[in-house]
Structure 1
Amino acid sequence: MKTEALMVWLLAHTTKYPKYERFRLAKEIETAIFNFHRCLLHATQSSDKRPHLRQADIHLLELRTYMRIANSLKYTSDDQYGFFAENCTEIGKLLGGWLKT
């Protein structure tokens, strides 16, 4: 559920990027969050969860990188980036716990 809430926030947020960035950075952010969510869904339905969870972790790292770039380019405010980072950290901890089980 936290992932879906972050997805909704990110999708609404990236629509406010400059038009020329919607097909570059915004698209990469959207792809990363969708791929992350897809990996989590596959993990819930698979008997061997680890490969899907490791791949989800990679997508989460991609997403964090893209959002740092967006913040550096001032497409996100520091407050917005802080909100994203807090949620991403919480999701990362949940993912890490799931990987350890």
Structure 2
Amino acid sequence: MTKNAEMVIFTRTFDMLTWLLPATNHFPKAHRHSLTKRLLDAAFDLRERLEEANLRQGAGRMERLRRADEALARMRLYLRLAAKWGWQSSGQYEHGSVMLAEIGKLLGGWQRSTSDPKPRGRESSGRGSEVEA
């Protein structure tokens, strides 16, 4: 993953956290120590695993990216539950889902580039030297 692309995922997760923290203040107080805590823990876990992955290479990076993907899956579940129970408007749920989908795409790209470090340019046909017109 390029430095520029890495910065995008960090920007998007920061944006998601700055949206999510105030949004959870409107969840029922009775659930602050259950679903709300789990949602926020998953959000912070996601961001922390991405930071850790950025500091590593190879298998260590892949492990952190896999764990970030697990945290992202938990966030999707908890946001869906919050919407189902009426703790979020449909617009809030849609906004959160769009943010998580974008983060998921960025994360998937980072995972692919880490697991297959070969450049993704044009493939050689293996027929020797060819010149294109």
Q: Deviations over 1:18-58 (max 9, x none)?
A: 11111111101000000000000000001231000000000
1:38 aligned onto 2:38? no
* Among candidates 7, 11, 19, match of residue 21 of structure 2: 11
**Which consecutive residues of structure 2, in runs of 5 or more, have no partner in the other structure?**
1-10, 114-133
Percent identity of paired positions between Structure 1 and Structure 2? 35
Structure 1 Cα separation of the partners of residues 31 and 23 of structure 2:
12
Opposite residue 29 of structure 1, the aligned amino acid is: L
Distance 1:64 1:80 in 2: 13
Structure 1: unaligned runs, 5 residues or longer: none
Poorly superposed stretches of 4+, deviation over 6 Å:
none
Match of 2:89 among 77, 90, 99: 77
2: CA distance, partners of 1:74 / 1:88: 19
2-structure distance, mates of 1:24, 1:90: 26
Between the two proteins, the alignment pairs up a number of residues equal to 101
TM-score of the superposed pair, with normalisation by structure 1: 0.97
Equivalent-residue separation in structure 1 for 2:100 and 2:38 (angstroms): 16
Comparing 30-39 with 20-29, greater Cα deviation is found at: 20-29
Q: Distance in 2 between matches of 1:20 and 1:8?
A: 23
Residue 20 (structure 1) aligned with residue 46 (structure 2): no
Tell me how far apart the structure 2 counterparts of residues 58 and 10 of structure 1 sit (CA, whole Å). Answer: 18
**Mean Cα deviation higher: 30-39 or 46-55:** 46-55
The two structures, once aligned, show a CA RMSD in angstroms of 0.6
3-state DSSP of counterpart to 2:46: helix
Partner of 2:8: none
